[in-house]
Chain A
């Protein structure tokens, strides 16, 4: 199991720094020493009351001990490690890298994302070079013109006995072709510039939207106060293309509609009273269940709320919304874990599913999923379904009948999984700490 959760290690470090015995610390917060030992060795996830009690005794802010952001960084670093088959990396020291050099870790993950984005862009441009008839025609014209100039110029230079008539003729041809080249190359540059502005910003408009939501913790205060979605989309620098702003507007309109149907203060109070039961809240506010899922995931972080994640996919499994809860880093690229109830929901539209899922690190979440029409139903057209899954982190992690899940096959090492579609990039024998994706270890 990957030892990438840092919270336990940090708790241990702070306990030792303060010279507190493990048994004493455990007793002071009302848990067994053996359970604290499991926590300190990152074999049990910790959150909620236990984390708060520990932070009080250790006199350190709970957020300093939590693993959320680091877990996501670790997952991305693992993915980055696997993306280069030439360079072996010390996988077992990723935790140290994240803990000791957070800036470098963030830099690596940012560059990895950028690299993947550029790879996607390159693929898109390659497709366009092959299939874009406008570009193909312009390229053909440029090369034909260059060809004529090159052949003609070579004749002029390489034929000393060329008659004056021929010389004049070929000079004229070069002049004609050079003008044509200037026009066709300018035209091609203009076309490429348009493609470039369209394609080489952030990888895709959807990723820009993801970044906009992630950057604000999925809580958009402006929309809570009734701001115009279009104006907000135009204001956010991360939405760096017309396509991204257009897509973001649709997401923001949904957000504002949810906020209007479930006003923040009223909804927060109701959510507490209902113990975050989405069905009860849907009945109370008269809204669809998936709207409650979205609204719960948009609540501002609070000490009284558990960590909440949200995923939405279309019928192909492509992720349309991703909010990672602490302890389960949802993939930026590629598909997610096929065992998520999110995907099971797609096979039974309209039927809400609820399972307690457990990650490799032992983090448990109540996963509630529902497949729902993505828009109005129409006659004579097949319905288009989306599935939405809410993930609510569990403090006590006492559930036993849990569904083992992961983030995605690439960063999951469960070797008894029937749903695995590709080998893990983490490989076996991680204790050796070195990984090469070509299958060789050194």
Chain B
């Protein structure tokens, strides 16, 4: 069974580009574009790595992150957070909620891929 990534993002062309990259890299990619039910969707899909946007329709990525960390099933899930707001306080907030990695848009494809791989490897190594 291939390793899986869930992408919670609402920008269609970013979804398409990231999905393309990850699938070519051998990942199974699941997409979710809404914020309000993202926690339930992640719990249902149970991906190996989550790529989570901050600004989503219905609910912010920070709240989703916080709730995922409160749930034992997703407490240790590797989460890469994407944001167009690179302000220090956003980064600090994400870190306080337990984000695994914080990346600001625009990002390079190589950075995105290597970060997802690293997060998965670190998670697999601990398991």
Contacts and interface: CB of A to CB of B under 8 A. Distances in A.
- 10 tightest A-B contacts by CB? A143-B84, A151-B17, A147-B105, A147-B106, A148-B13, A140-B84, A150-B106, A173-B13, A146-B106, A154-B109
Contact of B11 (A130, A139, A144, A159): A144
Interface string B1-20: 00000000001011011101
Given A139-B85, A155-B21, A166-B20, A146 B13 contact: no
Contacts of B87: 130
A149 B17 CA distance: 9
A161 to B, nearest CB: 10
B115 to A, nearest CB: 14
Interface residues of A, number: 24
Interface string A41-76: 000000000000000000000000000000000000
A177 interface: yes
Interface in B39-64: 55
A144 B104 CA distance: 10
Contacts of A166: 20
A158 B24 CA distance: 12
Contacts of A148: 11, 13-14, 17
Given A143-B104, A151-B107, A170-B17, 17 more contacts: A130-B87, A130-B89, A139-B84, A139-B85, A144-B105, A146-B106, A147-B106, A148-B17, A150-B107, A151-B17, A151-B112, A152-B13, A154-B108, A154-B109, A166-B20, A169-B16, A173-B17
Nearest to A136: B85
Contacts of B16: 152, 169-170, 173
A432 interface: no
28 contacts: A136-B85, A140-B55, A140-B84, A143-B104, A143-B105, A144-B14, A146-B106, A147-B11, A147-B14, A147-B84, A147-B107, A150-B106, A151-B14, A151-B21, A151-B106, A151-B107, A151-B112, A152-B13, A152-B16, A155-B20, A155-B21, A155-B109, A158-B109, A169-B16, A170-B17, A173-B16, A173-B17, A176-B13
B93 to A, nearest CB: 13
A151 B84 contact: no
Contacts of B106: 143, 146-147, 149-151
Contacts of B107: 147, 150-151
A250 to B, nearest CB: 38
Contacts of A140: 55, 84-85
Nearest to B112: A151
Contacts of B105: 143-144, 146-147
Given A146-B105, A146-B106, A155 B17 contact: yes
Contacts of A154: 108-109
A12 to B, nearest CB: 57
A158 B16 CA distance: 16
A125 to B, nearest CB: 14
Contacts of B11: 144, 147-148
A166 B17 CA distance: 10
Given A143-B105, A144-B105, A146-B106, A151 B85 contact: no
A151 to B, nearest CB: 4
Interface in B73-127: 84-85, 87, 89, 104-109, 112
A173 B16 CA distance: 9
A144 B16 CA distance: 13
Nearest to A130: B87
Nearest to B86: A143
A147 B82 CA distance: 11
A139 B89 CA distance: 16
